[in-house]
Each structure stands twice: as structure tokens, then as C-alpha cells.
Structure 1
Amino acid sequence: MLDESTIKIVKSTAPLLQEHSQEIGERFYELLFSRVPDLYNMFNQTNQKRGIQQGALAYGVYLAGANIDNLKAIESMVERVTEKHRALGVQAEQYPIVGETLLKAVKDVLGETATDEVIEAWEKAYKAIANIFIETEAKLYQQTEQQPGGWIENRSFYVDQKVKESDVISSFYLKPEDGKPIPSYKPGQYLTIQADIEGEKYFHMRHYSLSDAPNKEYYRISVKREDSQDGAPAGIVSNYLHNEISERDTLSIAAPAGDFTYTTEEQPIVLLSGGVGITPMMSMLNTLVENHSEREITFIHAAQNSNVHAMREHVEKLVKENQNVTSFVCYSNPTEQDRSEHRYDKEGFIDLDFLQTVLSDNRKDFYFCGPLPFLKAINGALKEWGVPNEQSTYELFSPISTIEEA
């Protein structure tokens, strides 16, 4: 238990960390990679170059500090991060060096404001929070290894099929090279790939949502090729998978992980996706249909146009075969053929007016995934409509802690 003085100092200085989160994050990674360069392997280097990762780290620390007297309030953040840590192979012995480096970064950025008293209080708080993460991750490692077909660290899978789903998305059907059973997973979870790419100094690790129902003899991920755009660097691993990985090639993979999945309630469910955010939604949709769920299912997808719209035909097939499934499509930039063939239900973006047009009411469970602007728009629309937080769940591909604060 932390003493009252420590709690008071941490809570009063937490807003400072939020205010300077980007600078603290940048200084932290600069120090960390100079001290332990091998940790480059665990971090998305494209996100580093884009400046996304840096602010997210310090924001997470701020969030923990602001709730240091009520850590139950950050349970969802802890669950999300520990799932990712397990998938990445984070170990308990790495926490002390991270803590030391973080405190040094805070001191460097805040200067005289970060007095010895402040640093000492945050050191105590970090240790308390780190212990929660370490204990949670230890349980996750144990559960992962002990489940039927489970494993820890990485396992070799070969590409049984590579299927082009759109101009920018391809699916990879992965089977274990050792021929042994593989564990099931919850629809909405992801795989973590460790890519050793020729010419790259460090290997790269990426999370990719599983895009099919569980309990198959394969895992399927559907990956968008991230090209360079508006000065942002191209996705290293997505381009590697698209351009260099073929059928029969092998990939090193960590067991399924993730906290984004639907409940088993019978309340109507709405699955909303933007772009490649369709991947976990396909896993959910396929699972619900295969399990003969009687829930009312509404599948709503947004894309630029049919050229980049993955799995369209499959969803249309499910709608025809299942009376409880309906589907709607929004294209922000439809082609002339899209228009002439009426391939979409709305030109533009998903907004509250559209949701209220296609849905009978808001008494449903909403799950949504996609790029950050899409998530913020959907989140805002659902809040405006009065959808309770417990009926609104999202998955964010970037490391930003919340879409409200992004």
C-alpha cells in the first residue's frame, strides 16, 4: 500500500506528465534504446518514426498516476497492455530498467519541477503499478502455455494459402509447421508475428487480428499493405508480408492474445468497421453465424470504395443465408462502377443520422474497429445517441490509450 503523502504527490503531478507526454516519451525511448538496444525488437519502429508510440507511453503512466488511489479504474488499460506484453514476450526482469529510464526521462523533461520528493513518489508508484503488471502477465503466460495446444514464446507456422482480398488487403492462412494442435481463441483477438527481414538490424513484431472463426486447423490473418503516405513511412512488416512472403514460407508466431471480444449475451449486436478494421469483425461475424447465434446481427462497414473493400462477397453470402444478419456499406470515394451498380448504401461516412436510419434503436451492443478518425467519429456518435459505455467496445490498432484523449 502506498502512503497518503506519496498518493497526494503522484496525483497532483500526474497532469504535468500528461501535458509533457510527447517530450517524456521521446526522451524515454532515446535513453532506453541507448541503454538496451535489443529492446528495439519489442517496439513498432514505424510507430516510433511516426511519433505515435512516444506520447502513448507517458499518457499511460499519467493515467495510472491519476488513478493511483483507485487502480480499479484502469483495469481495462491493464488488461489491454498485459495481453500485448504477453504476446511480445515481456519479462518481469525488464521492468526495473524501464522504470529507471522513465524516471530519468521525467527528470530531464520537467527539470526543477521534478524534485527529489516528486521522483521518489513516482518511483514508489511505478513499483506498485509494475507489480500489478508482472503478476497479471505471469498468470497470462501460465494460462497460455497450459491451454490445449498452447505454447509460450514463438512457434513456426507456414503459409498454407495467401489470398488477395482487395487491392490492399491479403489473407494468410497459417498452419503449424510441427503439425500439432493449435489452441482456440476468442473472436476479436490477434496473432503476433516476429519478422526477421533481410537488411533490418532488428527483428520486428506486429499484432494482426485473426479474421476467421476459431476452432479451425489454421489461423487466418488479413493484412493491409501500409504504403508511404503524406510523408509517413511505409509499414515495414505489412509490405514484407505482401511482397516477400509466399505460400509455404514460414513465420514465427506468438499464441493468440487480446482483450477485444464480444459478450455471450443475447442482446442485438452491431459490428462496425472502417478499412482493415474489418478483420476482427469478420472473426466475430463468422463465429456468431457458425455457432448458430439467434442474436440480431448488424454488420456495417466503411471503406473508400469497392477496390479496397475486403470480403464483401462473403458478407453478402452470410446475409442471404441467415435471416438474423443484415449488412450496410458506406463508401467515402465510390468508383463510377460502384455508383452504377449501387454497391453501397451511403456515400460518405458513418454518422449518427445513418446509424439511426438503419438501426431500430440504440439498445444493442456496439463493437467497432478501424483507423483513429473512424473510431473517434463512431465513439462520438454513440455517446451522442446515449449508448452506455458498457455497450460500446472498440479495438484500436495504434498504441494510443483512449480515443477520447487521442
Structure 2
Amino acid sequence: MNEQQKALVKGTVPVLKENGVLLTTHFYERMFKHNPELKHVFNMGNQQNKKQQTALAMAVLAYAEHIDNPGILMPVVDSIGQKHTSLDIRPEQYAIVGGHLIASISEVLGDAASEDLLKAWEQAYHELAQLMSGHEQKLYKEKSTKSGGWVGWRPFRVEKKIKESAEITSFYLYPTDNGPVADFLPGQYVSLRLFLPELGLLQPRQYSISCKPNGIYYRISVKKEIGAKQPDGMISNRLHQHIEEGAIIDLSAPSGNFILKQGETSPQVFISGGIGQTPLLSMLEHLVDRKSPVPITWIHGCRNEQVHAFKQHLHHISSQHGKLQQHIFYDVVSDSKTGDILPGWVSLNKIPEEFLYRQAQYYICGPGPFIKTHYNYLLSIGISKDSIHFEEFGPASISAA
């Protein structure tokens, strides 16, 4: 891009801040109208709840703001690239997306979209697509060359289906070809796709791997969305209600950059809400398997004892790791419970100071407001931003900026 084109793109920043979601909503509606086959690739639940439109608006805005130095966005590029490779997105699909994005800019801005502005954004998108697809090709190569790795979709068999609580069920997934499966970094996820008769579409969803790497199978632990009739809960509920032991489902290779930092000798603190414990459980199992001597603090919150998954498993892990301290919060505590359960939502100020280590690595997973609350609290007590890692399930709506 030349300097004039960069200036034109940066000049759209105020418009994107005010009307970014309007633009991306128009873009998705246009794209699905002209290319309905892409409905099989995109999570239509995130379309309905507007999370995808918001996430794309944030990404487009960030790119416009940093058009002089897009390399600063590499952490975001990697996060998006991880998701794209888990969905088997290919370079040729960037051309389809780009065509609809530029057309949407023209249609939404109307007379304000000059020919020069559209050409500037066309060039900007071309360079972004090159950056993204180039990074994704590296990720695909890593997946294909890893022992037990693959690209695209691979059939897996549900070997075991185990109820972990009133709402959460684990699925043990083995490849139908009986070959090995790629190891993964604790905290990563797999994409799974099922056909949804209600929508007449194949739909992909990401689920964290909830076990340690073992080279044989993956375990995902899925929350049933009680009463959910929207697309974002349909896949989880279909797994609960219709997918039994012996069923075959397609998986993509593990992806994701919310991972346990390797080689760490500092204490580890895990903070989760509800189903957010699944990637953290993989990290914890890995540390225990490696006989890591570091102190570990496990902080978890859920509604009550009935929905608290992996209770006994965590007790077993505690017996293996002498330096693991658990702090469990229930929204509602039954009269029969002893003082080992803290009432109410997770509150870090109720955790004894000696278990919130100053030099620890912190991992937070849960809903966006849950993450924001605990991220800000940790900053307020002097924990370095670089030591706090988080993942919000679904398209990102928060950042550490």
C-alpha cells in the first residue's frame, strides 16, 4: 500500500468505531445470500447472537488502526489463524470474503465510499489476506507433519460417553482408522462438526480437550444447554441427546494458543467458571503427569454441587500432587456441605493471599464478564499483565489492551 492509501484506510477509523457492527452485519447477510455454502463453515449460532459480527468489527478496526505496522497484530493473526485452520479454511475462500467485504463497504457508506477509498481497502484486504493465509499455511504444515497429525476432517468414534455432572458429559474420541492422534499443547481445542437437521446444515463447534496429551484419544467435556433452541446450543445438546457410544463424528486437528507455558518453574493458578474448567483441567493433568513440583492453586465456581463436574477427579489429583490447593465456590451451598465450599460467585479477595502467588502464571477461562473481573483484580494486586492468560469461549469480545 502507498501512503495515500494508508491514510484513506486510517480515515475510516471513526466510522468503524461508530458503525463497525452495522458494516459487518451487512457483510455477513450479503455473503450468505450469495454464497450460502459458507453457512456450513460458519457458526450460525454466533451469527444469531451477533458475537461474530462484533468480533469481525473489532478485527477490522484494529487492522485499520495499525495499517502502518500490521505486524503488531500477529498475536491476533495467530488466534484467528488457529481458528481458521481448525475449520479447514482455504486461501481461495479469502477471495470470496474480500469481494463481499469491499462491496459491503461501498453499499453501507454509499456516496462516502469514493473509488480511491474502495481501492485502498481492496489493497489493504489483499495484504491482510496474504498475511493470514501465509501464517495459516505454516499452521497446516505443522499439523500435517506432526506424528499422528492431519489436516481437514478426520472421522472419530465415540468410545465412551461418561456423565460428569447433571449438565456436563465427557466424550472419549478415538480415530476410526486406529492410528495415533497428534499430541497437543494443554489448553488447545478440537473442532467437531455435525449435521443439524433443524437447520439443514453441517455445523462446526470448538471444544477444549479436557485431558492430558496421550497419543491415543481426545476427551471433550460438553455442557448441555438447558432449554436452548438457538444454534449456539444445538450442537452441544445434540451431542448429549443423539450421539451415543459407537457414533462417528468428524474432528479437525488440535488448535489454539491458550496454552500452558512450557518449562515454567513458577507457581500456577487456574481460575474457572462452569464449563471453563475444561482447558485448565488438561493443563492440570499435564503438570501432575510430569510430576511438576510447582505449587498449584485451583479456583473454580459453579452453581451448586449437582453441576460441579470432575469433583472426585480433582480430589484424586490432589492426592497425587501435594502442593495443589483447591478453592471452590457454589452460588448455592446446601446445608449438608461443610466449610470447604465458599458461598457465592468466585471472589479472589476471599482467597488467602499466600495462594495468589506474585510470581505465578495465571490462567482464566469463563464468560467474558468473569474474565474481566478477575483480570482486573489481579492487575490491582500487582500481578503483571504478561503473567495473566485467558480464553473466552466463542468469538473474542475482550482483549488485554
Q: Compute the displacement of 1:342 (Å).
A: 3.4
Q: What letter matches 1:380 in structure 2?
A: N
Q: Which residue of 1 aligns with 2:233?
A: 235
Q: What letter matches 1:242 in structure 2?
A: H
Q: Which residue of 2 aligns with 1:83?
A: 82
Q: Which residue of 1 aligns with 2:375?
A: 379
Q: Compute the displacement of 1:222 (Å).
A: 0.3
Indicate conservation of the 8 Å contact 1:175/1:218, yes or no: yes
Indicate conservation of the 8 Å contact 1:77/1:401, yes or no: no
Q: Which residue of 2 aligns with 1:260?
A: 258
Spell out, residue by residue over 1:299-343, the C-alpha distance to the aligned partner (whole angstroms, 9 max, x if none): 111111111111011112211221121111112233344xx3335
Q: Which residue of 2 aligns with 1:309?
A: 308
Q: Compute the displacement of 1:15 (Å).
A: 3.3
Q: Which runs of 5+ in 2 are unaligned?
A: none
Indicate conservation of the 8 Å contact 1:267/1:365, yes or no: yes
Secondary structure, counterpart of 1:307 in structure 2: helix
Q: Which residue of 1 aligns with 2:51?
A: 52
Indicate conservation of the 8 Å contact 1:298/1:327, yes or no: yes
Is residue 348 of structure 2 the alignment partner of residue 349 of structure 1? Answer: no
CA distance in 2, matches of 1:15, 1:38: 33
Is residue 199 of structure 2 the alignment partner of residue 203 of structure 1? Answer: no
Secondary structure, counterpart of 2:160 in structure 1: strand
Q: Compute the displacement of 1:177 (Å).
A: 0.8
Secondary structure, counterpart of 1:378 in structure 2: helix
Q: Which residue of 1 aligns with 2:137?
A: 138
Is residue 249 of structure 2 the alignment partner of residue 251 of structure 1? Answer: yes
Distance 1:341 1:356, change over 3 A: closer
Q: CA RMSD in A?
A: 1.8
The count of residues paired between Structure 1 and Structure 2 equals 400
Secondary structure, counterpart of 2:327 in structure 1: strand
CA distance in 2, matches of 1:248, 1:351: 42
Indicate conservation of the 8 Å contact 1:23/1:55, yes or no: no
CA distance in 1, matches of 2:232, 2:332: 22
Q: Compute the displacement of 1:376 (Å).
A: 1.5
Indicate conservation of the 8 Å contact 1:303/1:332, yes or no: yes
Secondary structure, counterpart of 1:375 in structure 2: helix
Q: What letter matches 1:399 in structure 2?
A: P
Q: What letter matches 2:261 in structure 1?
A: T
Q: What letter matches 1:386 in structure 2?
A: G
Q: What letter matches 2:396 in structure 1?
A: I
TM-score normalised by L of structure 2: 0.95
Q: Compute the displacement of 1:278 (Å).
A: 0.5
Q: Which residue of 2 aligns with 1:224?
A: 223
Is residue 369 of structure 2 the alignment partner of residue 369 of structure 1? Answer: no
Q: Which residue of 2 aligns with 1:335?
A: 334
Q: What letter matches 1:275 in structure 2?
A: G
Secondary structure, counterpart of 1:252 in structure 2: strand
Q: Mapping of 1:1-400 within 5 angstroms?
A: 2-228=1-227, 235-264=233-262, 265-337=264-336, 340-344=337-341, 346-355=342-351, 357=353, 359-400=355-396
Indicate conservation of the 8 Å contact 1:163/1:171, yes or no: yes
Q: Compute the displacement of 1:234 (Å).
A: 6.0
Distance 1:322 1:89, change over 3 A: same
CA distance in 2, matches of 1:113, 1:358: 58
Q: Which runs of 5+ in 1 are unaligned?
A: none
> Which has the larger displacement, 346-355 or 22-31?
346-355
Indicate conservation of the 8 Å contact 1:86/1:140, yes or no: yes
Q: Compute the displacement of 1:358 (Å).
A: 5.5
CA distance in 1, matches of 2:222, 2:357: 33
TM-score normalised by L of structure 1: 0.94
CA distance in 1, matches of 2:344, 2:400: 23
Q: Compute the displacement of 1:360 (Å).
A: 4.7
CA distance in 2, matches of 1:281, 1:353: 21
Q: Compute the displacement of 1:198 (Å).
A: 3.4
Q: Compute the displacement of 1:221 (Å).
A: 0.4
Q: What letter matches 2:204 in structure 1?
A: M
Q: What letter matches 1:374 in structure 2?
A: F
CA distance in 2, matches of 1:358, 1:209: 30
Secondary structure, counterpart of 1:203 in structure 2: strand
Indicate conservation of the 8 Å contact 2:267/2:357, yes or no: no
Indicate conservation of the 8 Å contact 1:212/1:283, yes or no: yes
Spell out, residue by residue over 1:243-290, the C-alpha distance to the aligned partner (whole angstroms, 9 max, x if none): 000111111111111111021221111111111001000000000000
Indicate conservation of the 8 Å contact 1:227/1:233, yes or no: no
CA distance in 2, matches of 1:315, 1:334: 19
Q: What letter matches 1:392 in structure 2?
A: I
CA distance in 2, matches of 1:266, 1:174: 32
> Which has the larger displacement, 68-77 or 86-95?
68-77
Spell out, residue by residue over 1:102-132, the C-alpha distance to the aligned partner (whole angstroms, 9 max, x if none): 1222232233333322222221111111101
CA distance in 2, matches of 1:14, 1:347: 45
Spell out, residue by residue over 1:50-82, the C-alpha distance to the aligned partner (whole angstroms, 9 max, x if none): 122112112111111111112232111111100
Q: Compute the displacement of 1:356 (Å).
A: 5.8
Spell out, residue by residue over 1:211-256, the C-alpha distance to the aligned partner (whole angstroms, 9 max, x if none): 0000242110001112346x96661100110000011111111111
Indicate conservation of the 8 Å contact 2:193/2:251, yes or no: yes
Q: What letter matches 2:178 in structure 1?
A: G
Q: What letter matches 2:366 in structure 1?
A: G
